[in-house]
Structure 1
Amino acid sequence: MIRAARDEDAEAMIAIEVAAGRMFAAVGMDFVAEDDPGTAEELLEYVRDGRAWVAEEAGAAVAYLIAEWVDGNVHIEQVSVDPAYAGRGIGASLVEHVAGWAREHGAPALTLTTYAEVAWNAPYYERLGFRRLADDEVTPGLRRIRAAEAAHGLDQWPRVGMRRPLTS
């Protein structure tokens, strides 16, 4: 079941982020596996603004997605699934849920930034209808996000901006 995140979900969301991050160590990306997952206070900004959702199983949060508005589009800031629940379509369900929310709020597209060569990143999102953006298609807001990611050290592996139109 997907629902809006609540204040009390913040700690579970952090635990999901830590567990999901560990998967990157298996492909030699220890810098992601060891990255700081952020704070409950940071997540609560998304929760309290209605831009955070969790997927629940048996009453426990097992995945989450947070989003923000960037250049008029809904930007998926983070989507993470507890590895114990991976491969069940939960991440895709969260993305579809947010796509519906974005349509209701008049967004023309979803965007995100991700690793270009990690199987559960860009190739996965391509299967969900996203396409990689050419450099001249990257909007100013996405450029700022990419610059912040680079400053945080996330550019040790190739990253890409992606977009999925929500209108036909």
Structure 2
Amino acid sequence: MTTVHIRAGAERDLRRVQEIERAAGGLFRELGMDRVADDSPPPIPVLRRYVHNGGLWVAEEHGPYETAAERPVAYVLAEPLDGNVHIEQVSVDPGSSRKGIGRALIDHVAARAAAAGVPALTLCTFERVPWNAPYYKRCGFRVLAGDELTPGLRRIRAEEAHVGLDRWPRVCMRRELAA
């Protein structure tokens, strides 16, 4: 049986995080979303900022006979936004997908945020991509109506539109957290 260990991301993980993003992004090609598939991963200075701000979490898989930590197979980037915690990115290496690792990362961020008294998680995602909005709905998120968007979410959506992501329908989502 494989177990997953989630830990704070570190400087040593940054190149691997980029590899995970490239591999996971390639799946968009199957949907005709080549522009998304070809998008570059976050640059090292941006990832380093998440490390220093405590917003990068990585998941490692451990098999039944391993004693040393393996390299990360998934990651999440999260940061404060308008009084909530905003999930900027969740990516799982395709070789480790469909094992609940992405959900474990989201739940980890949710538990930490709830313990800190944060009311909700937010994110922006593609509405019709099966592993985006439909997946996040199964993880407890709901789509926000336009009048529910906070200033920070409106800013993010404007930035996404500016770089052309509105070519495919996008939504903002929220998951309430228990105190």
Normalising by the smaller structure, the TM-score range is: over 0.9
Deviation at 1:66, TM superposition (A): 0.6
Cα RMSD of the aligned pairs, angstroms, is: 0.9
Aligned length: 168
Q: Does 1:53 align with 2:64?
A: no
Q: Whole-Å Cα distance in 2 between the matches of residues 68 and 57 of structure 1?
A: 24
State the match for 2:98 in structure 1.
87
Q: Does 1:143 align with 2:154?
A: yes
State the match for 1:128 in structure 2.
139
Q: Whole-Å Cα distance in 2 between the matches of residues 36 and 153 of structure 1?
A: 14
- Which of 155, 159, 162 is 2:170 aligned to? 159
Q: List structure 1 segments (4+ residues) > 6 angstroms apart after TM superposition.
A: none
Letter in 2 for 1:7: E
Matches within 5 A, 1:1-168: 1-58=5-62, 59-167=70-178
Tell me, which stretches of 5 or more residues in structure 1 are unaligned? Answer: none
Per-residue displacement from partner, 1:94-113 (whole Å, max 9, x unpaired)? 00000011112221000000
Q: Whole-Å Cα distance in 2 between the matches of residues 115 and 106 of structure 1?
A: 28
Letter in 1 for 2:132: N
Letter in 1 for 2:53: D
Letter in 2 for 1:120: W
**Larger displacement relative to structure 2 (16-25 or 148-157):** 148-157
Letter in 1 for 2:145: A
Identity, % of aligned positions = 57
Say whether the 8 Å CA contact 1:7–1:48 is kept in structure 2.
no
Letter in 2 for 1:31: R
Per-residue displacement from partner, 1:90-146 (whole Å, max 9, x unpaired)? 000000000011112221000000000000000000000000001111111100001
Deviation at 1:83, TM superposition (A): 0.5
Letter in 1 for 2:155: R
Q: Whole-Å Cα distance in 2 between the matches of residues 26 and 32 of structure 1?
A: 11
Q: Secondary structure at the match of 1:87?
A: coil
Deviation at 1:49, TM superposition (A): 1.1
Q: TM-score, normalised by structure 2?
A: 0.92
Letter in 1 for 2:166: D
